[in-house]
Each structure stands twice: as C-alpha cells, then as structure tokens.
Structure 1
Amino acid sequence: MRTFEYQHFRISTLFAATIAAATLSACGGNGNNADTTPSTAVVVPSAPVGLGAEESVPVPAGVTAYVDDGASNVRGDACHATVDTNAGVRVVAGFLDIWTPRSPLVDAGQAAPASGSCAAVVASDWNGIPGSATDGVVKNASIHAANIAYVERATAGRTTEQEVAAYLDDRRGKGYSITDGMGPLTAAWRSGAQQTTTITAIPADAGTVVYNDGGNNLGVGGTGNANLGLAVDFISAMSGSGSTEPAKRFFKYARPWRWSSKVVVAPSLLAARSSTPTTDGGFISGHAAEGWRDALAMAYLVPERYQEMLTRAMELGENRILAGMHSPLDVIGGRVQATAVVAYNLNHSANAALKTSAFTQAQTWLQSQTGTASAAELNAYAHAAPAGSDRFADRAANRANFANRMTYGFSQIASATAPAVVPKGAELLLETRQPYLSAAQRRVVLKTTAIASGYPVLDDAEGWGRLNLFAAADGYGAFNGDVTVTMDAAQGGFSAADSWKNDIGGAGLLTKKGSGVLTLTGANTWTGGSLVAEGVLAGASTTAFGKGDVYVSGGTARIAAPATLVVAGRYTQTAGGNLELALGNGSRGRLAVGGALTLVGGGLHVTLADGYKPAVGDTLNLITAGSVSGKFATVSVDGYKVTPIYTSNAIQLRIDG
C-alpha cells in the first residue's frame, strides 16, 4: 500500500511539474517572449540520489582513548610509567620506530615507589650523552640522520630576523607569543586579557640572563578580569594534565646540539642550554606543545582566526628548530601530544560550562572593541588588516607552511595507504569553527582531511598524528557518503555563512538545507550531485559543484566563479528554486551545463560586479547547455530592464534599458 501511494505521489508530482512547465513555455520570464525553443511539455529529471547513506566514522576499536585516559600523563607514578599505562607517552609511541630508549620507562632522573601491584621504578642510568655506553639505540638510521641534518641546515642558514623570532618564542611566555596569530584582533585580545611580557627584544645581557619574562603569559583570569577572565581560565584549563616531562623522561632522546656539533645554537640562547642532560630530553618539545595547546584553545574561542592561530603554533615549533634547541621530530611529537591534551580537556565534564561562557565572553569582548555588531562583521574585521600589518594574511602561504611542517619532508616508513581513523572526542576541536555540523559530521571532516599514513611518529593507533586541522577548517575533503548541511543564519557566525575551500572528491550527494550560505571554492570532483533545498549554495570556482547533477528545488544556487562555472551533469530548477549569476567581465559568473538544463519556473537574478556595466542593446551570454527546456518564471537584473532569450542550448539577456 505504501509503495502504491509513493508511486502515485511521484506520478502526480511529475504530471503537475510537466503541466507547469508547459504553461511556462507559453510566456517568457519577466513577461517577455524572445525564445526559439518549441513550446513542448517539460519532463523533469529525477533529483540526484547519491549513495543513499551518510558516512560514519567510528571510534577506533580496541584502543584506549586519550580523552578517557589523559590524566595518566604523569611522572613519578609507578602505575603510569610505561608506554601502555601513560597516555602522554603512548600517543607518541611511533617514535619507538626511530629510537629505542635506554629503558622503556618514565625513569630519566626519576624514581617512583611501588604502588599496589605496580613495581617500583628505579631511576635510569642514562647519562644523556649521545653515543655513550648508557645511551639508547637508533632504530631507523636514515630518519634519525635526516632529523638532525634538518637542524644543522636550519641553524647554519639562520638569519638575524629568525634568531630574534627564535629568541622571543624561547623566553617569552608562549601564550603571549601565540596571540600575534590573531592579527587585527591581537591588541584587543591582549588588552582584554591584561596580558603582558617583558621580553620584546634580545637584551644586551642575553648571555647571562636565562628565563626572565616578568609578564603574566596568558593574562589575568577569574573574576578579577571582567573582560576576558573566563577566556584566560579556559585557555589555562586546556593544558590540564599536559606535561611533556613524562615523554621526555621515557624516550631519553638528546637535544640536537648534543647529537651534532654542526647544530649552531642561537648565540642569544646559549645561556639557556641545560647543563643536566639526564633530565633534558629533546623528544618531545615542551615549548612546541605549550604553544600548540594555547593556540588550539584560542582558536576555539576565536574561530575567525582558527587557521592563522594554528599556523602561528607551527611557526613557534619551527622557531625551536631554528634556535637549535629541538629537532623536527621533537616538534612533531609536541604537536601530536598537545592536540590530544586539548581534546581531553574539551571533553572533560569539568570544563563543559567554562568553554561555553568563555566563548561567549571572548566574542562579546572582541566585538565591543572592534566596533562590530555580529560574528560575521567580526570575521570580516579579523581579515581586513592593512597590507603588511598581518603576518598571517596570506592564506596560501599559511596552508603551504602548515602542510610542510606536518611532516617536515620525512620519507614514509610504513604503508602510505592505511585508512585514516579519528580519535574519540577529536570532533570537539572543530566545535566552534563548524557549529552547523553535527559531531558525527565533524568526525567525517577530520577523516577526509587527514594526511596520508606512514610518516614517522604520526601513525598512532587513535589517529591524532594524522589530523590536519588546517584542512579540516576548510570543510570536507571527500563526500564518501551523502552529506546534508543545515545552516541557520539566525545563529550568526559560521552558521550563517561559511566557505569550504578543499578539493572535494567522492561519490556522495550534497544537500544544502537551512537559511545560511555555503560557498564552495575547490577544484571539486565528487560525482553524487548537489541538491539545493534551502538557503544558498554558492559556487566560487569553475568546478565548485563537482561532476554530478545540480537540482534546485528551493533556495538559491549562486554562481560566483571567476570564470564560467561548469556543471558536468544536468541542471534542474523547480518552481521553488532560484539561480543567481554574479556577472563580471569576461566569462565571470557564467554557467555551462554539460547535460540538460531543465527549468520549471523559479527565478533568475543577475548581479553585476563592480566596474561591469553593460550598455543598452547589449546581449549577455548567461548559460549554455546540452539542451534547454522550460523557462524561469521571473528574470531580473539589478538596475536594468531586460528581455531573456531562450534557444535550444543557451540562455541570453538583452539589455533594454
């Protein structure tokens, strides 16, 4: 009975659409009739169906989740002294493929008494000197050699400017350093946080002064700071159980300047070198980890600068290498562990209320200080710095630097094709950046943007090492299942408008619902098609809509590409849908449909780019297609009277006045 009813509904719907199309074929849009298309009934194609199911990304099975076990990252505890019992060690256990430590325990300069059934830990006899009788063993000679050689090259070619940056990131509070990733928002943030530093340049006495920042690093938290006190508290909370000491004391891997005399430590930092190698392990980098934790926390509160903050954290890690204090693998390890630590704290119930109130406070304060009235205006302000005043204004450079520093050019030492996995709770890292996606959808985003497998240290069982949060902030990397995006413009911010900049592959169907605007800008190749049901789906590249059909049943398909946007399949628009073309010089904003263009009414709205002013009498080429059937119910061009011209395979506009 249900099957009969559905079939009856489909037949009735198609019949009604055919009748409506036949009626429309008798009159031109906007009351004009200048086409040569025969007035025949329009057969409406079926909407694309994609794969019929969403992709899901389960939590890795049989693996202890860091977000459940992060509190085990401690030292001096016999029950958390091994790679299996200490989360902070386990998450970077891939380093064991490169290096075998003197003993597989958190024991460098560290004893731990017996506790219950856990045997006492005796302090290691590792002396911290590479090649000595008590040292560990290099397991992968080529990766280890490449790791140290990178530091040799970097420090040998270090510029004066790079030394200053390395000095500042070494001695200044990491939270203060990281905030310059906020660009135009930095001054307002530091003012509201009451954040200070006394390190502004390399002092004359740098050779005798070690850590001497008299500032307050993150700022003033608590009720004593009504502006950003909760935000400061939140950032501090995201470093909970975040020590890098357990990993350092487990792996017992020396600093690069101890491995090679060709590593030139920055002269301004010579006094900062430790004279106690037994407690001065290089893997993992504590500075890099702290900077990464602070950057992730600030990116959560200020998602308008999400990618810039993470780029700044990567830069801080690079500065540790330029200083001669750490190697690339040290920095990679610090980043991986820090990512897991922040996710652990975001998932911790003790921080549930704080993260919400801190986010609201941060957004409110920044809007008040920048004279903006909404998250959208704040986002525009955050990217509107004068040329040369925002070090992270070049998105392409940010993306390239981030990608390079994900792996530092190391060769893959294991399978390069292992499927990506996503850690439990990692989806919260994107919670404020993609608030319109569900937690399950954000897990798919993380999976489809993860880097390839096989790189040193990055193949942890949970998947922390392969997460590419810069790419994830740009949306899906592939539609391996159907994707429905529902955006509510009334919620403001990214729920009102967002842009997916990745090159999207796959075979799923993209369905756009809700009142917000989603813009696609990549070199997209997915084949499942696009269904616009509500709001706006905008194409800002020539291949924005992939290689499938586009079906507009409601809302608007907006063509805003710099040249002709190509719909590889069919374009269908029913009475509730609209097409918007943002025309400019050349072929900007035009549409080319490879298959059939079917119109059952709806509207066509043409906007004109600044400087583009057609003259009365001009005929504008708008759309080409394999075939054209039906017409728009309305056609409008801002500031002009027009007549649409329909042919068998194209639509044009004549400017009448």
Structure 2
Amino acid sequence: MQDRFTTRQLPPVSLTSLVLAISTALALAGCGGGTNQAEVPLTVPAAPLDQGFVDTAPVAASVPAFVDNVASNQRGDARYATLSTNAGVRVLAGFKDIWQPLTEIVDAGVTAPAVGSFPAVVPSVWTGLPNDGTAGGTILNTSVHNANIQYVVAATLARTPAQETAAYLDDRRGKGYSVTDGMGPLTSAWRTVAQQTTSITAIAADATSVLYNDSGNNTGVGGSANATFGNVVDFVNLMSTNGSTEPAKRFYKYARPYRWSNSVVVVPALVPAKSATPATDGGFTSGHAAEATRDTVAMAYAVPERFQEILTRGLELGENRILAGMHSPLDVISGRIQGQAVVASNLFDSANAAKKGAAVAQAHSALIAQTGTSADTFNAFAHSASLDNDRFADYATNKANYLRRMTYGFAPIGATTAPAVVPKGAEVLLETRLPYLSDAQRRVVLKTTAIASGYPVMDDAEGWGRLNLFAAADGYGTFTGNVVVLMDASQGGFSAADSWRNDISGTGKLIKQGSGVLKLTGNNSWTGGTELTAGVLQADAASALGKGDVYVSGGTLISNAAAAVTIVGKYTQLSGSSLELNVGSAQQGRLTATGLVTIAGGALHIKFQSGYKPAAGDTLTIITAASFKGKFTSVVVDGFTATPVYTDTGMQVRLGI
C-alpha cells in the first residue's frame, strides 16, 4: 500500500543564506510598503491632561487705580496735594523707604488756596540744597542713597566723548525727536511723514547757550495740517496727558545729584543749564526720563514691529540723564514707572479708543507707503538694518540693557519672592504687540514676566514698577493652567506670525489653535504638555517644547532648531496633521523623544537647512525615541525620493534620486 504523503526533496540551504533571507525580509518590512509594527493594532495615547483652569492676574484689592485717578496728578490744587490724593505722587511711594521729605505735601514753591475740606498749600521752606546746613529731609536708607549718588559720580567720571555728546543731545533737543532713532530703518520715514525736525545736532560751541532752544519741531505736525500722519502725531502727544512730573518733584523734594556731591561731573556744556532756583528743581522724578518713556511707549503701541527697540531707546535716554550728571538712577527709574502708568491711563480711557485705532492704522499705511513695503514685508524691513545703521539691531544687547536700566544694579531691600500684581488697565500696553491674546491673557503675560520684588522704589502697591515691557513683548514667562493661543492669520501682522523668546517655565499646558504661526525660541521647561490643533507651532530651540508630552492633532509642527528638538515625554501625531523637520548636517531639526512616539498617520516633510545637501543613497536618522509605533501617511523629502525605515526606537529615511 502506497503512503498517503510523499516527501519532496528540497535543495540544501546554507545557514548564511537563511540568515540573509530573513534579514532582507525584515528590512523590506521596515520600508514604505510595510512596517514591522503592522501586525500590532496601534494604540493612540490621549492628549496631555487638561489643567482644568486658566491663570488670572487680578487687580490688587483696596488700591486706588492709577488709571482711574490720573487726572489728580496736578500741582497748585489743594485737593491733590498729598500722597493719598495725587496718583502721580502715590505711584512712587516706594521712595519713602529711602527718603523722608521735609513735608509730605506738593508744596515746593507751590501755593494753592483751600478747597472745601482741603487746607491751603503754603510753600515749603525746603531750599533744594542738601549741604546748606539744613538737610531738608531725612535719609532713611543710607546705603541706597549713597549708592544712588555714587553711581552718578562713577558714571560721569568714566563718561566717554560719545556718551557726553549723546547726553548733551538728549538734554537739549526735543525728546520726541531724539527717541525716534529707536525706529531703526523706519527712522527717516517716521521723521519725514511726522515732519519732525531739530536744530540741535552737536554740542554747542557757545558754552553759555540756553538749555531749551531747539527751534525744530519735537513731535511733528499733527491734526488736519498733516493728512498723512497727523493722527499719529496727535496720538503720541495725547499719551502725555496728565503726565507732569512736577507734582512728584514738589512732593519728594530730593536734590539733584550734583547738589549732593561735588564729585558729580556735569557735562560742561550743560553747566549753564543748572537751575538757579534749586527749591523748585528737585531731581526725583526725572522729567526727561518720564517724557521719553511716554513717547516711546506710545510709539511702540503705534508701531509694535519696533516695540522692544523703541522702548530700549526710551530707557537709554533716561540713562543719558545720569551720564549728563543731571539725575540719579532712582530719579530715572521713577520716570519709567510714572511714564508707563500715564500712557496706560490714556490708552485705557474709552474716550481715546477711536484715536488710538486711527493712529495705529495711519502709522502703518504711511510708513508702508514711505518705505515702499507691503503689509507682508513691513515687519522684515523694520528689522533689516545692521548695527552699522541701527544701534538697536541686536536683540540680546537690547534685552540686557533694558534689564540693567530697570534696576541700575541696586540690591533688593525687601523680599524678592512677593507675587507680582498687575495694575488695572496695564494690559492695554500690549494690545497691538499681542493682538491675538485676550485682555485677561495679556495681564497674565505681564504678571509672568514682571521683575522680582524688593528693588528700591519699584514695589508700588499696584505693580507698575515691576512691569518689564520688554520681556512681556516676548510672550508668557510661565504657563499655569491651560494657555490657549488662538491666532487668526487673516488678521495679518502678529496674528499671522509671532515669536515668543522667553524661557517659559511652569506646570501649565500650551494649546495652540487657529491658522497663525507661533514660534518658540526659549529654553523652556513647562511640564503640562503641548497640544497643537491648527496652524503652525515652530520649535526654534532644542528645548522649545518644554518638558511634557506633545500631541499634534492638526496643523503643522516644525522642528527648526540648531540641535535636535527634545520632547521630554511622549510625541503623538494624528492623521490630518503634519511634521516638518528642517534638517542640518549634525542633529539640527531632528526629533528626539524620551518616551513613546506614536504616528497615527499624517505627513512628514523633510527640508534641509542652508548649506546642507545630503547625497542620494544616504540614510538619515530623523526621529529617535524610547519606543516608536505607527507610520506616516506620506513622507516627502525636498530634492529626493524617500524610503522610510521604521524601527522600534525611531525612524530613518533612505534618500533616492
């Protein structure tokens, strides 16, 4: 009987051939037509945990709001002659930790009749000369006072010829004209359309010249006489309403530095400008510094494309008052504080809503026409000059100088960990710079970028002194709770594309929505994760995405860093979204995850950074992870065909012709 089964003899196979066959099969499984993970159902992780709340920055309780009381900043009116009744005096009340004025009345050279229950103001006996045998007040913090005056001594002794010229020009010519060079490539255009001029371009040969004899036009021509730019000129001037520093000067009665110390070297050409009536010529607060702050904050609002640069110029003018020997650091710091509060008050006033809107629109239409740019190219042009033609072209230098000029190196005299508070109305200062955020979000930005507490003069109860507008222009400093960023590219400007350059910390979660582009460039460490639902989120630094899971359900995530972008946690990408990697010769633009990478479809687009050109046949490691699952729906590599190779710990791309 024949067997039911027969055996077919196969040719002999070597062990080497068998291993090669298995290896080939595995390699093919890892290419675009298949994956070694195809047999395993893909489990898609959930998005980072919702925080369940949104951060806020409430107004300090029981503090009279500057924006509601700015009109009280007057002298010669008995109703507003005290710290409690005058907003311009009260916002600088931190100075009373350093100096106790002879009288706590706006009374230096001031007379005012009684009004109702407010007693008449009688001129103070303060002489303005601290070394005349009558102190005229009491130094309460000797170390801070001495440091304040010694700073001026050292600065004026070390002053260079270039600094002397700058200090002279910023003293004598119109402040509105001086600060416009902070506009960089837009300076000439601004001065032309504003019709600004100056007659002071160098140190006068005549050392007996009058202090304020600039025959030019400080802020320009406003109103209907300037159909092209009149709204802007009127707006800048409007922002100084109720901005006088005289009430504070007449209340605090603190002498100028050259009256405290004979070692202060006033710019020689400015010596004739010294007032002959020191009793009405106090140093605190600096009128020049306050005016420069008002002008530059207003200009930054009108042209936010130069927000940080023009603000830096405003603080530079304040420092030039120190270099001139005319003011001390505390004089200048207080000018910044009061100037910011005044502009915020005028922006906050609903009566000015139409005027500020008209100014912003006209500033852009006029400057775009004058520079031959377009709405799409204007921002790039505003930053197109080099240091040779724009003193404020270097961001890092501006940032360092701004921070230095906020404190002038004073050591804290109080606790440095007090939570920041944000004054009522201060959020309006960021309306044009961060237009895609709500008022509540702008308040949180101001809170999370405020300078530490404890510095002399800066700890006012409302929070004006600690505001760091330079840092606030770079977005949040801390994420707490859900941070939802909704950008509408159709609105143009910063709503279409913006960069946040702060180092963002915190436990919150970033949720990017809308069609705009948000670039992150900081050394970020927030831990609540990132969720991208629409538009573009671009990582321009290795740690740009913080320390948490990244979940891309829509839109495009771009890796554009100078090193591999690190995700400290899981990375998940869903169908309908895309990942764009701008790859360089080393690790630039690649993606590294310390946790699981899950690719549930979507697109991968690989571009190459300038100067890097791989060759056909090269295999690039694109993504590395603790564990890798899934695959992209499509993989496109600029200039090459692409064969994706998926492994359990990452992804490679083999380049072809």
Q: Output the TM-score relative to the length of structure 1.
A: 0.95
Q: Secondary structure at the match of 2:626?
A: strand
Tell me the equivalent position of 1:369.
Answer: 370
Is the CA contact (8 Å cut-off) linking 1:600 and 1:632 kept in structure 2?
yes
| 1:273-288 equivalence runs, <5 A | 273-288=274-289
Distance 1:27 1:73, change over 3 A: farther
CA distance in 2, matches of 1:40, 1:383: 52
Aligned partner of 2:238: which letter? A
Query: 2:78 maps to which residue?
Result: 78
Bigger radius of gyration: 2
- Partner amino acid for 1:111? T
Match of 1:22 in 2: none
- 1:298 equivalent to 2:299? Answer yes
Q: Which amino acid aligns with 1:78?
A: A
**Could you tell me which residue of structure 1 aligns to residue 546 of structure 2?**
546
CA shift for structure 1 position 608: 1.4
User: 2 CA distance for matches of 1:654 and 1:251?
Assistant: 73
Q: Which has the higher contact order (CA 8 A, sep 6+)?
A: 1
Question: How many Å apart are 1:28 and its aligned residue?
Answer: 8.6
Deviation per residue, 1:436-482 (Å, 9 max, x gap): 00000000000000000000000000000000000000000000221
Q: Residue 558 of structure 2 aligns to which amino acid in structure 1? A: R
> Where does 1:400-411 land on structure 2 (aligned, <5 Å)?
400-411=400-411
SS in structure 1 at match of 2:592: strand
CA offset at residue 379 of structure 1?
Answer: 0.8
Counterpart check, 1:635 vs 2:640: no
Q: Residues 618 and 655 of structure 2 are in contact (CA less than 8 Å); yes or no, is this contact kept in structure 1? A: yes
1:230 is aligned with what amino acid?
N
Shift, 1:38, TM fit: 5.3
How far did 1:165 drift? 0.0
Task: Indicate the residue corresponding to 2:335 in structure 1.
Answer: 334
Q: CA RMSD in A?
A: 1.4
Decide whether the 8 Å contact of 1:50 with 1:529 is kept in 2: no
**What pairs up with 1:583-598 in 2 under 5 angstroms?**
583-598=583-598
Mean CA deviation greater in 232-241 or 267-276: 267-276
Q: In 1, are the aligned partners of 2:480 and 2:509 still within 8 Å (CA)?
A: no
> Letter of the aligned partner of 1:312 in structure 2?
R
For residues 495 and 26 of structure 1, the distance between their equivalents in structure 2, rounded to whole angstroms, comes to 46
CA distance in 1, matches of 2:305, 2:546: 27
- Cα deviation for residue 639 of structure 1 reads 2.1
CA contact (8 A) 1:428 1:439 kept: yes
CA distance in 2, matches of 1:118, 1:180: 46
State the partner residue of 1:13.
Answer: none
Runs of 4+ with deviation above 3 angstroms? 25-29, 34-38
Partners in 1 of 2:556 and 2:642 — Cα distance? Answer: 21
SS at 1:296's partner residue?
helix
Output the CA distance in 1 between the equivalents of 2:493 and 2:353.
21
Deviations 1:303-348 (A, max 9, x none): 0100001100111011000000000000001110000000000011
The superposition leaves residues 601-625 of structure 1 with CA deviations (integer Å, 9 ceiling, x where unpaired) of 0111111122211111000110000
Alignment of 1:252-651 (within 5 A): 252-374=253-375, 376-651=376-651
Cα distance change on mapping 1:55 and 1:332 into 2, 3 Å: same
Contact 1:627/1:649 (<8 A) preserved: yes
Deviates more, 1:478-487 or 1:42-51: 42-51
State the distance in 2 between where 1:431 and 1:648 align.
48
Instruction: Measure, in 2, the Cα distance between the counterparts of 1:222 and 1:632.
Output: 60
String of CA shifts for 1:200-251, please: whole Å, max 9, x gaps. Answer: 0012113333221001100000011011100000000000000000000000
CA distance in 1, matches of 2:181, 2:158: 25
Question: Is the Cα contact below 8 Å between 1:125 and 1:134 reproduced in 2?
Answer: no
* Structure 1 residue 355 displacement after superposition: 0.2
Residue type at the aligned position of 1:604: L
Report what 1:219 is aligned to: 220
Alignment match, 2:145? 144
CA-CA distance at 1:50 after TM superposition: 4.2
Gaps of 5+ in 1: 1-24
SS at match of 2:465: helix
Aligned mates of 2:525, 2:266 — CA distance in 1? 47
Are the equivalent residues in 2 in contact too, given 1:50–1:507 (CA < 8 A)?
no
Report the Cα distance in structure 2 between the residues aligned to 1:46 and 1:361, rounded to whole angstroms.
47
Bigger Cα displacement from structure 2, 31-40 vs 306-315: 31-40
Query: Residue in 1 aligned with 2:4?
Result: none
SS of the equivalent of 1:433 reads: coil
Q: Separation in 2 of the partners of 1:358 and 1:502? A: 29
Instruction: Kindly state the Cα deviation for residue 377 of structure 1 after the two structures are TM-superposed.
Output: 1.1
8 A contact 2:430–2:473 mirrored in 1: yes
- Please report the TM-score for the alignment, with normalisation by the length of structure 2: 0.95
- 1:650 to partner: Cα distance: 1.1
Task: Compute the displacement of 1:33 (Å).
Answer: 2.8
Q: Deviations over 1:267-323 (max 9, x none)?
A: 011111111000000000000000000000000011010000110011101100000
Larger mean Cα displacement after TM superposition, 64-73 or 609-618? 609-618
Q: What secondary structure sits across from 2:484 in the alignment? A: strand
Contact preservation (8 Å) 1:508, 1:529: yes
Unaligned residue ranges in structure 2 (runs of 5+): 1-25
Task: Tell me, in whole angstroms, the C-alpha distance in 2 between the residues paired with 1:27 and 1:495.
Answer: 46
